[in-house]
Chains A and B, each alone.
Chain A
Amino acid sequence: MSKMQIPLGPQHPALKEPENFMLVLDGEQIVDATVNLGYNHRGIEKAAENRNYIQDIYLIERVCGICSHSHVSCYIGAVEEIAKVEVPAIAKALRTIVAELERIHSHLLWLGVAAFELGYDTLFMYTWRDREQVLDCLELLSGNRVHYGMNTIGGVRRDITKEQVDEISKKIKYLKERTSYYVNVVTEEPTFLARTQNVGKLPKDVALELNAVGPTARASGVDIDVRRDEPYFIYDQLDWKVITYHTCDVFGRAVVRVLETIESYKMIEQILKAIPEGPISVKVPWKIPAGEAVFRYEAPRGEDIHYVKSNGTEYPERVKVRAPTLSNFQSLPYCLKQGYLADAVITIAAIDPCMSCTDRAVVYDINKGERKTFDQEELRKYSIEFYKKKGISFK
């Protein structure tokens, strides 16, 4: 039988986001796979250069709705490093709580979506029902369900009260019980095991070579976690461990995510027991001194890197976002190859792709069919020329 090429996406019932996969099939088996990105490219990095540091917080938050706190914390971390600001202890503690609540919400969301891709709708409805509890905690703490707006340069925007601590502890206790049930489902349920074991294999050496990060890498036995390797916030004062697993398949990635949720509960409980006192933020001038900084942050999907360059004004000169999904996408064609078409969707879902984080810059000439990448300086020149032609002047 001859080989057949089929597109998956950008509009596909199983993919919640626009992305495109070109799969080459030999019968039922996938022999080759290419990832096409760019459907979600909005131009955030360029927009960030035209807004001041405070406005950028709210723009960067909207890089991604699921890991909004991760991107903001990462950006703010870099800005604070340039401005040499010492953040109060209570702000660090509150940032950590929100970060871990976000990880719980993201991992429960992933478990639901993965179950949905498997056709296991009961688990999907269960996890999403329980996920509401985490969203309630976040709403209680920050006032919002999705974009929290909790961070500001030099601290956080809201304090925590005694009642909030009690309420969150109560909800965490409930979630702990439910999660132990999910651990059983993921590790024992025959349907789940049959669909995930030995699917989307990614051996350790390949994971290292292709630069996998986060739960995808940890499920292949790669022991990396920025929270431990380069601690930020107050992770170095907490008692927790990095979860790794050795099966290198989709099943392993599910186990790592569910167990990580339990670690997050542990962390939140420890912080809630001893919240420091004091002012929640320090004042930072609008103009940030010239300099550049890179900040690494462990987002729910893996290592997130932000690079900020300032030139002494209140506008950043450059903001670069390297989202975890971009890193994980390198390994995805490897996982898809030799698998079956029916498993393609769960294999894609297993890295927990987040396109809105990932789509930064790629150029594709439709007429010629050529693909071209720019470096920063070229892209900058190109964009300035492009807008000058349209009659927009630059400072």
Chain B
Amino acid sequence: MKLKDKIILWSRVKSPWIIHFNTGACNGCDIEIVDALTPRYDVERFGMLLKGTPRHADVMVVSGPLTRQQAKRFKRIYDQIPNPKFVLAVGTCACSGGVFDGCYGVVGGIDKVIPVSAYIPGCPARPEALLDAVVKLITQLEKSAK
């Protein structure tokens, strides 16, 4: 591995910045995501920082079933994230549509529109589950480079 690649991998593994996107969630998963960012769980120790714009982010944290109104906009935001990009589907709704599967306003899980890197089930997913997914994602990233 060249020195340039090593530096890129190091920066990628040490600072995976995230963007949070709500595709029509009930807020339950959103408050658990924010919970993971605040002192008790403190996901920032893995170098994760919540960013406002998709152009600064590496990881997209998505909560909620995909509503028809959001589907198009969601795809657009996803396309704006620079490569390589990763998607965490938080909660049963984001994984499969959950309790809202079959509702007329809901398309289904987010994997109908974009590829997903990690599924985190739970209604809502607990912050511990979120941390577990983050650790798995980072280890996977390290392994894939070798």
Do the two chains belong together in a single complex? yes
Chain A positions within 8 Å of B, measured between CB atoms, are 10-14, 16-18, 38-44, 46-47, 58-59, 62-66, 68, 109, 112, 124-125, 128-129, 132, 135, 145-147, 354, 356, 383, 386-387
Query: Which of B22, B39, B70, B73 has the most chain A CB within a 10 Å cutoff?
Result: B22
**Contact between B104 and A65 (Cβ–Cβ < 8 Å)?**
no
Chain B positions within 8 Å of A, measured between CB atoms, are 20-32, 34-35, 38-40, 51-54, 65, 67, 69-70, 73, 77, 99-100, 102-106, 123-124, 126
Name the CB-closest residue of B to A113.
B34
Q: Can you list 17 A-B pairs, Cβ within 8 angstroms, ordered by A? A: A10-B69, A14-B52, A16-B20, A18-B23, A18-B69, A18-B70, A39-B24, A43-B103, A46-B104, A65-B27, A65-B31, A66-B28, A128-B38, A128-B39, A132-B40, A356-B25, A387-B104
In the assembled complex, the Cα of A58 lies from the Cα of B70 at a distance in Å of 24
**Contact between B103 and A46 (Cβ–Cβ < 8 Å)?**
yes
- Distance (Å) between the CB of B74 and the closest chain A CB? 8
A18-B24, A128-B38 known; A43-B106 Cβ under 8 A: yes
**Contact between B28 and A146 (Cβ–Cβ < 8 Å)?**
yes
In the assembled complex, the Cα of A39 lies from the Cα of B105 at a distance in Å of 10
Q: Which residues of A contact B105 (CB under 8 A)?
A: 41-43
* Residue in B27, B39, B77, B124 whose CB lies within 8 Å of A356: B27
**Contact between A16 and B30 (Cβ–Cβ < 8 Å)?**
yes
Name the CB-closest residue of B to A132.
B40
**Contact between B32 and A145 (Cβ–Cβ < 8 Å)?**
yes
Q: Which residues of A contact B22 (CB under 8 A)?
A: 16-18, 40
Q: Which residues of B contact A42 (CB under 8 A)?
A: 24, 65, 67, 100, 103, 105-106
Query: Which of B26, B32, B40, B53 has the most chain A CB within a 10 Å cutoff?
Result: B26
In the assembled complex, the Cα of A147 lies from the Cα of B40 at a distance in Å of 20
- Distance (Å) between the CB of A214 and the closest chain B CB? 17
In the assembled complex, the Cα of A387 lies from the Cα of B102 at a distance in Å of 12
* Residue in B28, B32, B126 whose CB lies within 8 Å of A68: B28
